[in-house]
Structure 1
């Protein structure tokens, strides 16, 4: 994949900064050539000719060139820095925004650390490409062309001899670039693996420590670290062979200059000043050629990182709105699943031929053994996935035909494990409505039975909750999550085991808050603790991806050998044994 045209597309909006960077780089390169161009008159005319006024004039010219070179160097760094940071901001933001649009299926196949590595490490490589790759390559190519023209004008025979070492160098560089590219890709993959382990262990540090698996996780990290080091050593070995070979070729060129050029001076066919000038230009010729040769290393690294970046940017979301979605009228909340089938892969369906009708404002409990398809069903209603067959309709509209944002703006989910973002309690409650007045935030907290405990905190609503809400208890996090749903004011509410991970006292407060939240809303509640959905308007019992029973608690409990009845009896028996 040729990624460089795409990289230049990223730079094109900032072409003025690029022109400024290249312009001052060219001026700086020109000023660097002045000393060599003045060498011959300095030696042959001013020193050997004992011309003091000429010597002063040439020295002053050297000083002026030095001043202009310094100014150009400063300006070049300013323009290049601005260009690099704006492009990096642009690429990193584009990458992050695209990640927000990708479907859950993408994240199921990627580790968090690997994604983070692309957003941070791989994008950072582009900075070096902009600062050194584009600017230095363009200027050095121009510098080489000008110097070669001057060398041919000075002595074409000596110039041809000087260029002899560059012929095998070009072949060697092409071979090196191909092999180093493979090595850099391997290093990037190994670094992403290390970041994944780091992300996993930091996020689950409590589990690691409670099970005493610090050494196990450390060994996993060391293993990946050794693999990264091995890939780095392989890369370094290639560089260790290539870089000295380049220096040897250039050194041989200088030897040729002094051997043949010195002979020409002895034969009075070349002046000493001309030889020194020629040697100075050769040094200036080999320096950019060596930089260009070394750029093979940089370009291979850039290519490896850019491929990983554009692999994500080229990934299309599985779930997105149609080009011209139908407008979603004010939602009433009826839900219909018509002969729905779905599977996470092509081999087997998790839901098969499912039909279900839910009236607006109805409270429906989803019950059944683990793996029966309850969570999959609500994932289809929220359109985290699309059905394989059949249709999911809300208020008679196929949800694939309406705007995705309109759909989800009318649905809220209270999950089993409340997820809070790093920030304040107020920020987390107002996550779905960032512009909500503070009075509305407090009212939502009161509705979730959260206001009192929030006010007991030292900073009240401005209390920082910590990473993923670790400064709050499980029950407190869950009430914040409920307050967030209340403020969002959805027409459809999904409760995914919302009280299963809290103590009895917290469960009472949370259940009271949920009862308020469910009023006037279509509610689907996934429950393993069947007592929490006993009073539902309708219970839907699922097994192996199918609805096997449907009705109220009183209706289902009378079914002989019914699955719901068996589940209730099992939980009742278990509760009695625990009470004893």
Structure 2
């Protein structure tokens, strides 16, 4: 019931629309039920009078029915138009809630889940929820009114026939409940399988350049074909169940009509039912069966919407691993003094990545982390802005534990430039101003100049309004890197993390970017992760980390004189090897 309580919660902002929709549905139902009663009145009362009186009465009835069906038209218009608008608004609210929750979830959630599946929950699942939100209460309300109303009038016409009708209907209800249980499982499976298809498409299209470079189009086609056929098999199962469900209910409806004809004929024969009453009874049978038909057809929509909402709730109920404390305070007047105190961390159930790490970085100083891949350098950087939380120990900025300050203020104080730069599908200006959305033109240009990218931007046909393509595909690696640096210049943080920011660049691009990074690092506390040791000679402290933790620390000259790991790595690069071994 908690799922339904959460579903009903989304009706709250649209209570006026919802209740007006139900009032209109009531009027439509009453109008539909009224027609057989008018026929009954005509056959039993009006048509027994003289011709003149019949004509006069028919005129009044015609005028009344015209007004009645005019009102029905207005109500039906409201139901169809504003009922769907209400459903669309609820869908929009749910989609916004889901997107907002995606934004709150921690990196660990994205480590475990596929983007295509998340998009499936955001788009296709919620469309079916919208249809359920509109048609669900309306169909149930209208059908309930029609079934109860027509059943009461059927009892009034002939109790014995109606009891027979009721018994067949009970068997029909039991059959429907049994089939619904099976449909619930198969429609949930549909959701998972289409999410698998979306996941495969997203993965293949995002990596299309890799696919084509390896000429692996056939391999991707086979993988997609497998996901696609799995979804097809699930759809086939659902349609088989739906087929038996609808055909079975069609059989019961046929039995209902058969029972009415046979029992009606019997009661006419023994004089307990008039022929005219059987005609009115048959009309009410139509009204009685129509909502049952609607409910049968609605079952598929209901199961799709229910399974979609259940998947939606699975995400909404996921608690972010990185939570802000209720008494968290804003991190203000940041100087940039950073302390890692006995920090230990591991991902999930993996072996320890970091164990008892102690590092102190004075404000405005630059510390470089070097060592083989997998030693925990990037992890150390990710712990500072709380992308992950330490398992033991503490990280402090200016004496404040990062867990005691608000996430927004913490992350605003930290700028990050990574090797894998992400560009949003937009203009150059939009990508730079991501660091400060309200930046002025002068600030944007200054940031671009500091990043050594302004002249290049001005050489483009549309300058700062040039479209960069999805993930910045129209730009080179060096150009994207300089835009990312301009973005951080605009953000103007007191703490800077440079995570292998130049390792994937050619020598010319590296010179440009190294100059920009040195300018960016001035008067900021900087943590540098680097494989190219030539870029960190001037660091205030260099810390050598491998799989066993911190091995060496000191400045460039001190570490060379120790003739240890750092000297070994440096000499390897001096001899012509560009980067550290993976170890």
TM-score (norm 2): 0.96
Counterpart pick for 1:353 among 352, 356, 368: 356
In structure 2, the CA distance between the partners of 1:54 and 1:258, relative to structure 1 (3 Å rule), is: farther
Report deviation, 1:46: 5.1
Alignment partner of 2:229: what SS? Answer: helix
Shift of 1:433: 1.3
Select 1:415's aligned residue among 415, 418, 433: 418
Matches within 5 A, 1:204-353: 204-353=207-356
Q: Deviations over 1:11-47 (max 9, x none)?
A: 1221111111111111112122232222223445556
Aligned 1:463-542 pairs, distance under 5 A: 463-542=466-545
1:30-83 Cα deviation digits (max 9, x unpaired): 122232222223445556765333334334443333322211110112221221
Given that 1:40 and 1:276 are in contact with CA atoms closer than 8 Å, whether structure 2 keeps it comes out as no
Q: Which SS does the other structure have where 1:471 is aligned?
A: coil
C-alpha contact 1:118 1:309 (8 A) present in aligned 2: yes
The answer on whether the counterparts of 1:341 and 1:354 sit within 8 Å (CA) in structure 2 is yes
The reply to whether residue 405 of structure 1 matches residue 381 of structure 2 is no
Whether 1:427 and 2:430 are equivalent positions in the alignment is: yes
> Once superposed, what is the RMSD of the aligned Cα atoms?
1.7
Distance 2:422 2:349 in 1: 31
Question: Which SS does the other structure have where 1:400 is aligned?
Answer: helix
Instruction: Name the counterpart of 1:11.
Output: 11
Q: 1 CA distance for matches of 2:536 and 2:13?
A: 57
The correspondence for 1:551, drawn from 551, 554, 565, is: 554
Could you give the per-residue CA deviations for residues 433-475 of structure 1, whole angstroms, max 9, x where no partner exists? 1111111011100100111011111111111111111111111
- The answer for unaligned runs of 5 or more in structure 2 is none
- Please list the CA deviations of residues 380-434 of structure 1 after superposition, one character each: whole Å capped at 9, or x if unmatched: 1121111111111111111111111111110010110211111111111111211
* In 2, Cα distance between equivalents of 1:271 and 1:53: 26
- Consecutive unaligned residues of structure 1, counting only runs of 5 or more, are none
- In structure 1, the partner of 2:189 is 186
1:203 aligns with: 206
Change (3 A) 1:394 1:266: same
Task: Give yes or no for contact 2:25–2:141 (8 Å, CA) kept in 1.
Answer: no
Within a 5 Å distance, the mapping from 1:121-136 to structure 2 comes to 121-136=124-139
Post-superposition offset of 1:545: 5.2
| Cα pair distance change 1:267/1:62, threshold 3 Å | farther
Partner of 2:389 in structure 1? 386
Pairing 1:568-579 to 2, within 5 Å after superposition: 568-575=570-577
Q: What CA deviation, in whole Å up to 9, does each residue of 1:351-387 have, x standing for no partner?
A: 0111111111111111100111100000111211111
> Shift of residue 521 of structure 1?
0.4
Aligned pairs for 1:352-371 (under 5 A) are 352-371=355-374
Contact residue 540 and residue 555 of structure 2 kept, 8 A: yes
Q: Deviations over 1:199-245 (max 9, x none)?
A: 11111111111111111111111111111111111111111101011
Q: Is the 8 A contact 2:129 2:306 kept in 1?
A: no
- SS of structure 2 residue aligned to 1:173: helix
In terms of mean alpha carbon deviation, does 3-12 or 53-62 score higher? 53-62
Instruction: Find the partner of 2:568 among 557, 566, 569.
Output: 566
DSSP 3-state at the match of 1:393: strand
- Distance in 2, matches of 1:335 and 1:545, equals 23
Describe the SS at the equivalent of 1:58. helix
8 Å CA contact 2:332–2:409 kept in 1: the answer is no
Q: Is the contact between residue 95 and residue 313 of structure 1 (CA under 8 Å) also seen in structure 2?
A: yes
Cα distance 1:347–1:453, how it changes in 2: closer, same or farther (>3 A)?
closer
**1:340–1:354 CA contact under 8 A, matched in 2:** yes
Deviation at 1:555? 0.7
Kept in 2: contact 1:335–1:359 (CA 8 A): yes
Q: Distance in 2 between matches of 1:46 and 1:504?
A: 101
1:35 matched to 2:30? The reply is no
User: Which of 341-350 and 406-415 deviates more?
Assistant: 341-350
Q: Distance in 2 between matches of 1:191 and 1:419?
A: 28
Q: Does 1:22 align with 2:22?
A: yes
Q: Which residue of 1 aligns with 2:89?
A: 86
Partner SS for 2:421:
coil
Shift of 1:506: 1.5
- Given the two structures, how large is their TM-score scaled by the length of structure 1? 0.96
**Per-residue deviation, residues 164-206 of structure 1 (Å, max 9, x unmatched):** 2212111111111111111111111111111111111111111
**Which segment is superposed worse, 486-495 or 251-260?**
251-260
1:525 aligned counterpart, secondary structure: strand
Q: Distance in 2 between matches of 1:402 and 1:557?
A: 39
Superposition deviation, residue 327 in structure 1: 3.5
User: Helix, strand or coil: the match of 1:232?
Assistant: helix
Secondary structure of residue in 1 paired with 2:562: coil
**Quick one: distance in 1 between partners of 2:55 and 2:271?**
25
1:28-67 correspondence to structure 2 within 5 Å: 28-45=28-45, 51-67=54-70
Query: What is the correspondence of 1:63-82 to structure 2 with a 5 Å cutoff?
Result: 63-82=66-85
**Matched position secondary structure for 1:386:** coil
Q: For residues 256 and 60 of structure 1, what CA distance do their matches in structure 2 show?
A: 37
Q: Distance in 1 between matches of 2:200 and 2:301?
A: 27
Aligned to 1:144, what secondary structure does the other structure show? helix
Partners of 1:48 and 1:456 lie apart in 2 by: 94
2:146 is matched with 143
Counterpart-to-counterpart distance in 2, 1:126 and 1:139:
20
